[in-house]
Chains A and B, each alone.
Chain A
């Protein structure tokens, strides 16, 4: 498998660390009412789609960038990759 890092180009998957679903990027407001319940969902609950999944990857043995990648988990095909720090472009 290869992942196309926006900074480094297509690199062997072994250079990357897989963190989990991209929903981890959306840390809840700790002051919101019911914050503990919201955090429980944030920390532990994941969708398990058989298809496209948005994921966080870390180019650990490369540039050190965190990436948001969309991957089809049934074919392992990466459909898009962007830098996590570059927040999503406006629709």
Chain B
């Protein structure tokens, strides 16, 4: 065991058993999975991505590149969780990744021997040839070997949630700077959210031996947290990582609500993805220690020195029995002092600075470098180059103390570039990088606790002042730590073997040199060529060293080489959290028609149209295919009567002194001459001259109209009309109201339609009183309804509209009356047959690329101006060889007509160059006894009577067709006028 006998912020009274790769181990409450593994002497926790190298725990935070594990919760396995941030719980079940068959013995480690072939750019070089190998050889091999972890295959039924929060000030990070900022803002009465990804607030104060006044740092932090908890205006969000900065003071954050619990209590989400609206924010995310690159630096047991101190001071775990320290700055010596204070042997401090002096009683090698490591699956020995020669040192842990790079990612998400500071060898956030954001503490380049506290307080004071509040006096404590000195040293060039830069994506210093030789020199090119920084950790421990290496190769400074682009999310966020409530029924809202319950009772088959759930057909006992039901329903309408819920049609109420004038400017035809009590078919164009939509216009009064729009185009039409009214012609007196959902509307179609209606109303609806294309108000009992004499089926037809709340009862009444007349409901499929037989249009034809003339309706265009008229008159839009609407019927042995199939002149090659058109809609016409289709055909109106070949490349079907007029039934319209 590596657990120390005393110290640490863990609860020794609460032992937590857990399993790793099936082996049961013991940890303590307050442990992370990583600290518990280290307490059990386990460094080796995974295999690397490309070479399957054995890898150990390297850090103690969310920047961890190596220690990714799969944790099983219930029947769901969650891959790629960082052991360094995963809180330990009773019976936690973790498995290592990327190993086959086991962690200690991995067959794919053969990749490591083949590494000369897997170097930089290997994706681009290796898999190019031969082409026949792509699918059969390379793809399966890559699938087997690559990828991090494995997703579960069961549907994920765990609960996740979305959250929305608003505050005056979001403090990101609860280290010393964040804590004091939140305290000052909280005391000043601001609405504050303090978010930290750890489950224990305090940041480095929990990991270092620093005193604030006479208190250990962690106790000072706990005291501040206690005061903050008592403030109603402060929300503490632990286990919450702010993952992204967005425009307008919006921050994304993922809160791990239940990831630390053995089982999730009912109705508690596992995670919540928050959208936090904050007028101001204080970025107090601290800094991330950067490795020094040397040969063999990926051996389990090689860790960051800051992590060694975290495990030692916070978790009371010694990362090794004999720890060597490789340092380019004073924190290496601090690490030695901490280890010695805990009774852990310090093998040596190897300091790259020739003038380094010992700060305690331990062996010091000044001006020395680690040039190699040895040990199978665990560090055993290191090689050191000193001024006087080479020597070997025994150590089972090597703590690497490097430069601390500000964790400034969130300040760059809006595109700002960080600023280089020579004095600390690091990038810091640019001033004003994010409107409303201030950086404080280590992320702003401050190094001592005292400076960190000071900058946190200053940032809070500035925010408080901007909110017009007064800041209370806060006395800064005396802090025991002083400034640290260091030298920029990134890369050991001596020694043999590979030196790793990006541990998660397996990129070495040699790869970077090779990319440089092959002229991939811009940092963004290097990234893509070597995949450096492109793993889920986004290079948090790799990018800085890579820039330093590139700077060396190019003989330039780091800021001249540049920096990489930081993008959200700061840490990986599960799709389940991002898409909370977005699966299954939550994917899209459902709009239900008034007759929905009735249709479900009848067992109708439904289809989605827009968001509407529409019955497609109503199967009857004995009917085995949809066609049987559809044919029966279509024939029923032609022979007796059918009813259909048309509520989905868009309905727009237009009123005002200039309503008629307004509609004249919208529609190609004239609406101002429409008499009260009449309805008219109308077409509107977009301003570019193409058809937007068609529908009917009913004149309800002198200054009052009602328009219908196609179900699927309603949003566009509504937006267009409001645009015209408010933006183009605000001087017209016209008011619009979208009444789509205010009215339930049913079609009653067929020879017995009038007889059916007469069972419901006493109003005179005879052909004289109510001719085709008229409307009137009728009374159904005590309810006023609107009855329109319009037809989308070509039969005697009405549409009856009542206020929506009467829809379900009217549906029942209509059903009873229809059945009394030998009729019934018909669905969308039958409706499609009926309209196709008549050549009526849908948006399969009005596809956004057709003109009025293409549809054969140029005669509708009135003399006045309207939207789109000028542009519709462009010569190319009047060309005779444009695709024009025609009908098609089979003319050969094959009768099959297929929607989307293309048309060719018989004898021509069936290729793109000879394409003549496309079938837009098709159906089987039960009245004609064969399939029919509408098509857009080049110069189609001039080809009526000729033959054309339908060729469906996808389904391999060819049908010879006759081109005909796009009306198949009752071209004179006698049936609907009768």
A residues at B contact (CB < 8 Å): 1-2, 13, 17, 19, 24-25, 27, 30-31, 35-36, 39-40, 42-44, 56, 58, 60, 64-66, 75-77, 83-87
Residue of A1, A13, A24, A31 touching B727 (CB-CB under 8 A): A24
| Residue on A nearest B416 in the bound complex, by CB | A75
- Contact check, A56 vs B727: say whether CB atoms are below 8 A apart: yes
Which of B864-879 touch A at CB < 8 Å? 865, 869-871, 873-874
- Contact check, B727 vs A60: say whether CB atoms are below 8 A apart: no
- Contact check, A85 vs B723: say whether CB atoms are below 8 A apart: no
With a cutoff of 8 Å between Cβ atoms, the chain B residues found around residue A86 in the complex are 730
Q: How far does the Cβ of A81 sit from chain B's closest Cβ, in whole Å? A: 13
Please, how many angstroms separate the alpha-carbon atoms of A36 and B876 in the complex?
13
Please, how many angstroms separate the alpha-carbon atoms of A36 and B414 in the complex?
41
- Contact check, A35 vs B730: say whether CB atoms are below 8 A apart: no
Q: How far does the Cβ of A68 sit from chain B's closest Cβ, in whole Å? A: 8
| Residue on B nearest A13 in the bound complex, by CB | B248
Given A64-B722, A66-B723, A25 and B871 touching (CB < 8 A)? no
Please, how many angstroms separate the alpha-carbon atoms of A84 and B726 in the complex?
6
| Residue on A nearest B724 in the bound complex, by CB | A27
Residue of B687, B727, B869, B874 touching A25 (CB-CB under 8 A): B727
| Residue on A nearest B246 in the bound complex, by CB | A1
Q: How far does the Cβ of B118 sit from chain A's closest Cβ, in whole Å? A: 41
Given A58-B722, A60-B719, A76-B247, A87 and B870 touching (CB < 8 A)? no
Q: How far does the Cβ of A13 sit from chain B's closest Cβ, in whole Å? A: 7
Q: How far does the Cβ of A89 sit from chain B's closest Cβ, in whole Å? A: 14
- Contact check, A66 vs B722: say whether CB atoms are below 8 A apart: yes
Q: How far does the Cβ of B581 sit from chain A's closest Cβ, in whole Å? A: 15
User: Closest 6 CB pairs between A and B?
Assistant: A85-B730, A1-B247, A76-B247, A66-B726, A85-B726, A30-B865
| Residue on B nearest A4 in the bound complex, by CB | B248
Between A and B, 5 residue pairs with Cβ closer than 8 Å are A1-B246, A19-B723, A36-B873, A76-B247, A87-B730
Asked if B250 is at the interface (CB within 8 A of a chain A CB), the reply is yes
- Contact check, B435 vs A85: say whether CB atoms are below 8 A apart: no
Residue of B277, B719, B728, B873 touching A27 (CB-CB under 8 A): B728
- Contact check, B250 vs A1: say whether CB atoms are below 8 A apart: yes
Please, how many angstroms separate the alpha-carbon atoms of A70 and B824 in the complex?
56
Please, how many angstroms separate the alpha-carbon atoms of A1 and B865 in the complex?
39
Please, how many angstroms separate the alpha-carbon atoms of A65 and B277 in the complex?
24
Asked if B688 is at the interface (CB within 8 A of a chain A CB), the reply is yes
Given A1-B247, A2-B248, A43-B871, A17 and B719 touching (CB < 8 A)? yes
Q: Which of B247, B277, B688, B870 has the most CB of A within 10 A?
A: B870
| Residue on B nearest A27 in the bound complex, by CB | B728
Q: How far does the Cβ of A87 sit from chain B's closest Cβ, in whole Å? A: 6
Given A36-B870, A39-B870, A58-B719, A65 and B248 touching (CB < 8 A)? no
- Contact check, B723 vs A2: say whether CB atoms are below 8 A apart: no
Interface code B790-830, partner A: CB below 8 Å = 1, 0 otherwise? 00000000000000000000000000000000000000000
With a cutoff of 8 Å between Cβ atoms, the chain A residues found around residue B730 in the complex are 84-87
Q: How far does the Cβ of A36 sit from chain B's closest Cβ, in whole Å? A: 6
With a cutoff of 8 Å between Cβ atoms, the chain A residues found around residue B874 in the complex are 36
Residue of A39, A66, A75 touching B871 (CB-CB under 8 A): A39
Q: How far does the Cβ of B415 sit from chain A's closest Cβ, in whole Å? A: 8
Interface of B is mostly: mixed
With a cutoff of 8 Å between Cβ atoms, the chain A residues found around residue B728 in the complex are 25, 27
Q: How far does the Cβ of B734 sit from chain A's closest Cβ, in whole Å? A: 11
- Contact check, B250 vs A2: say whether CB atoms are below 8 A apart: yes
With a cutoff of 8 Å between Cβ atoms, the chain B residues found around residue A19 in the complex are 719, 723
| Residue on A nearest B164 in the bound complex, by CB | A12
17 more CB-based (< 8 A) A-B contacts, given A35-B870, A85-B727:
A1-B250, A2-B277, A13-B248, A19-B723, A25-B727, A25-B728, A39-B687, A40-B871, A42-B687, A60-B715, A66-B723, A66-B726, A66-B727, A83-B726, A84-B726, A85-B730, A86-B730
With a cutoff of 8 Å between Cβ atoms, the chain A residues found around residue B247 in the complex are 1, 13, 76
- Contact check, B248 vs A76: say whether CB atoms are below 8 A apart: yes
Q: How far does the Cβ of B534 sit from chain A's closest Cβ, in whole Å? A: 26
Q: How far does the Cβ of A33 sit from chain B's closest Cβ, in whole Å? A: 12
Q: How far does the Cβ of B755 sit from chain A's closest Cβ, in whole Å? A: 42
Q: Which of B715, B726, B730 has the most CB of A within 10 A?
A: B726
Please, how many angstroms separate the alpha-carbon atoms of A85 and B822 in the complex?
54
Q: How far does the Cβ of A66 sit from chain B's closest Cβ, in whole Å? A: 4
Interface code B683-721, partner A: CB below 8 Å = 1, 0 otherwise? 000011000000000000000000000000001000100
Given A25-B728, A30-B869, A77-B435, A58 and B248 touching (CB < 8 A)? no
Which of B270-316 touch A at CB < 8 Å? 277
Q: How far does the Cβ of B736 sit from chain A's closest Cβ, in whole Å? A: 8
Please, how many angstroms separate the alpha-carbon atoms of A56 and B123 in the complex?
45
Please, how many angstroms separate the alpha-carbon atoms of A49 and B727 in the complex?
22
With a cutoff of 8 Å between Cβ atoms, the chain A residues found around residue B246 in the complex are 1
With a cutoff of 8 Å between Cβ atoms, the chain B residues found around residue A43 in the complex are 687-688, 871
| Residue on A nearest B737 in the bound complex, by CB | A64
| Residue on B nearest A30 in the bound complex, by CB | B865
Please, how many angstroms separate the alpha-carbon atoms of A56 and B719 in the complex?
12
Q: How far does the Cβ of B706 sit from chain A's closest Cβ, in whole Å? A: 18
Please, how many angstroms separate the alpha-carbon atoms of A42 and B728 in the complex?
13
| Residue on B nearest A64 in the bound complex, by CB | B722
| Residue on A nearest B723 in the bound complex, by CB | A66
- Contact check, A31 vs B723: say whether CB atoms are below 8 A apart: no
With a cutoff of 8 Å between Cβ atoms, the chain B residues found around residue A58 in the complex are 719, 722-723
With a cutoff of 8 Å between Cβ atoms, the chain B residues found around residue A76 in the complex are 247-248, 414
Please, how many angstroms separate the alpha-carbon atoms of A40 and B246 in the complex?
36
Please, how many angstroms separate the alpha-carbon atoms of A1 and B726 in the complex?
24
Please, how many angstroms separate the alpha-carbon atoms of A30 and B664 in the complex?
14
Q: How far does the Cβ of B713 sit from chain A's closest Cβ, in whole Å? A: 15
Please, how many angstroms separate the alpha-carbon atoms of A55 and B688 in the complex?
19
Please, how many angstroms separate the alpha-carbon atoms of A88 and B881 in the complex?
45
Q: How far does the Cβ of A32 sit from chain B's closest Cβ, in whole Å? A: 10
With a cutoff of 8 Å between Cβ atoms, the chain B residues found around residue A66 in the complex are 722-723, 726-727
| Residue on B nearest A68 in the bound complex, by CB | B727
Q: How far does the Cβ of A44 sit from chain B's closest Cβ, in whole Å? A: 8
Residue of B250, B688, B727, B865 touching A84 (CB-CB under 8 A): B727
With a cutoff of 8 Å between Cβ atoms, the chain A residues found around residue B726 in the complex are 65-66, 83-85
| Residue on B nearest A36 in the bound complex, by CB | B870
Interface code B721-760, partner A: CB below 8 Å = 1, 0 otherwise? 0110011101000000000000000000000000000000
- Contact check, A30 vs B870: say whether CB atoms are below 8 A apart: yes
Q: Which of A19, A36, A56 has the most CB of B within 10 A?
A: A36
